[in-house]
Amino acid sequence: MEYRKIIKRLQQKNKLLKDKLELIKKKKTPSGYTEKDIDFIVNSYLELAQDMNNVRSIVSSN
């Protein structure tokens, strides 16, 4: 099934995102996150949400 491949990819993406977020947390400065870090975080979660919606569409159409 195609959606199983997508779910597997989402799990891998989620793990990579968590790892990247941990690195960002470790380098956080006293003044906060950099704009580049915030952009990465927001865009990653938006992409993840879009992928999850795609999975829902595929599953509900089957």
Q: What is the pLDDT of residue 46?
A: 87
Phi/psi for 37 (5° steps) reads -65, -45
- 10 near 27, Cβ under 8 Å? no
Q: What is the pLDDT of residue 1?
A: 57
Q: What is the pLDDT of residue 44?
A: 83
* b/e burial code for range 31-59 (CB count within 10 A of at least 16 → b): eeeeeebeebeeebeeeeeebeeebeeee
One pLDDT digit (tens) per residue for the chain, 62 residues: 577 787 788 888 888 888 888 877 777 666 777 788 888 888 888 888 888 888 888 778 76
